[in-house]
Amino acid sequence: MRTLVLFFLAGCLIAVAGCTSQGTAPNSLMSEAQADIRTAEEMGADQLAPVALADAKQHLKDARIAMADEKFTKARYDLEKSMADSQFAIAKTNATRSNKAEEQLQESLNTLEQEL
Give per-residue pLDDT as tens, 34-77. 999 999 999 999 999 999 999 999 999 999 999 999 999 999 99
**Which domains can be identified in the chain, with CATH numbers?**
2-115 (1.20.1270)
* DSSP classification of residue 21: -
Can you tell me the distance from the alpha carbon of 74 to that of 81, in angstroms, rounded to the nearest whole number?
Answer: 11
At 115, the pLDDT band (50, 70, 90 cuts) reads confident
User: Which pLDDT score, from 0 to 100, does residue 64 have?
Assistant: 97
- On whether the CB atoms of residues 37 and 81 are closer than 8 A, the answer is no
Higher pLDDT pick, 8 / 116: 116
Higher-pLDDT residue of 100 and 3 is: 100
Spatial distance between the Cα atoms of 116 and 108, rounded to a whole number of angstroms:
13
> Are the CB atoms for 74 and 15 separated by under 8 Å?
no
For residue 49, what is the DSSP state? S
